[in-house]
Amino acid sequence: MNYCLLILEMLLSLLIVGRSDSTGLQMVAVSAPTMSPAAMNCTAFQYALSRASAELTDCMCRAARPFTLCAHCYHSRAKYADLHQLLVKDDGKDLSAAPDGTSCRKYLMQLDSVQVLSRTRDFVESVWRSSNCNNCFSSNGGSSQNDSLPRYRSDLDQFFNDTTQLRECFANYSSASSNQSGPSIVCDKCSSLYSALTIRFDTLSNAEHTRDRNTHSLCMDAVDAMNATHRLWSEAYQCDSRVRSLQPLPLIIAGYLTAVLFYIGARGRGQFKQRKLLRQKRLGCFASSSGAVSGSASDVGLLN
């Protein structure tokens, strides 16, 4: 009978697996609050936690490029954290005892020297922290568990809206640019949008740096989006190089001539001052020697 119950519980644990959302990323369908922890067998909980960590790790790997980890894995990470909290809360007393009679927490986290579950938790949390994901959203993520993606905080949400608008501009004029020789038309049509996006990103970065001067803690979703946009602008469409090529050649030559003339004038002025100082020195010596001669003559007169 015990074996039958154990098999039944294992089958039930497999039914709480994640299902795909509209973005194609796997989500854990059942979080800790919807479970019946008092009736959950420790072994069944182990399978549920294992499946949640696998879902989250898979989500993080697939959201690495382009980097949208914070948004796409927000719910998966929250559900994994809820399961892990259930294990450590009150020493796991809400769960039934392990097969060997010990507490479920001790059985899963303390009896093996490798501590697989603890290291898995540390890995997940280190990736989340290094991505500054907590700075992407409000305290509750700004969305419910039924939403496919959480809502960014308002200033970041506006940044991503501007990014989408600029990408649409790229898409609208990139085909026209491919049919013309010379500078890309994208540089002309999308320059104002690119400048506005750059200013908004600098404002976000400065605000984060003001809040925490020791770290640059801007949401990594936004940082990667800006880097990717800049690569499109400077490398794919070569808009930066085009701006440099539009600098008038006469202005460049005039700038160099101004610097040369300033140097020559400064050097000539220095030499003139030096000659003037030397001439005054010789006159002083002549005056002093004349005074000495006059003095000697007067002395002679006095002697006579």
Q: Could you list the pLDDT tens digit for every one of the 304 residues in the chain?
A: 444 444 445 444 444 333 334 334 433 333 443 444 444 688 888 899 999 999 999 999 999 999 999 999 999 999 999 998 888 876 666 677 777 778 888 888 877 788 888 899 999 999 999 999 999 997 655 555 556 788 899 999 999 999 999 999 999 988 765 555 445 789 999 999 999 999 999 999 988 876 665 566 899 999 999 999 999 999 888 887 444 433 444 545 556 566 666 667 666 666 655 555 555 444 444 444 444 444 444 444 434 3
Q: In terms of domains, do 206 and 124 share one? A: no
- Judge whether 16 lies within some domain: yes
- Judge whether 141 lies within some domain: no
Q: In terms of domains, do 27 and 110 share one? A: yes
In angstroms, the CA 157 to CA 148 distance is 16
Tokens of 251: 């202005």
Q: In terms of domains, do 166 and 206 share one? A: yes
Q: In terms of domains, do 85 and 13 share one? A: yes
Range(s) of the domain holding residue 193: 156-245
- Judge whether 299 lies within some domain: no
Indicate the SS3 state at residue 273: helix
Q: In terms of domains, do 122 and 83 share one? A: yes
Short-list 131, 147, 124, CA closest to 56: 124
- Per DSSP, what are the bridge partners of residue 20? 26
Helix axis angle, 42-62 to 2-14, nearest 10°: 20
Q: In terms of domains, do 62 and 186 share one? A: no
Q: In terms of domains, do 8 and 129 share one? A: yes
* CA distances for 114 relative to 44, 86, 105, 117, 210, angstroms: 21, 21, 15, 9, 41
In angstroms, the CA 163 to CA 156 distance is 10
Q: In terms of domains, do 12 and 130 share one? A: yes
Q: Which of the listed residues 71, 102, 135 is the one where a domain comes to its end?
A: 135
Q: In terms of domains, do 168 and 118 share one? A: no
Q: Give the chain's domain count.
A: 3
Contact 44, 65 (CB under 8 A): no
Q: In terms of domains, do 196 and 124 share one? A: no
Q: In terms of domains, do 16 and 115 share one? A: yes
Contact 182, 98 (CB under 8 A): no
- Judge whether 303 lies within some domain: no
The one-letter amino acid at 207: A
In angstroms, the CA 141 to CA 155 distance is 14
Q: In terms of domains, do 259 and 171 share one? A: no
- Judge whether 142 lies within some domain: no
In the chain, beta strands by DSSP E: 19-20, 26-27
- Judge whether 300 lies within some domain: no
Global confidence as pTM: 0.63
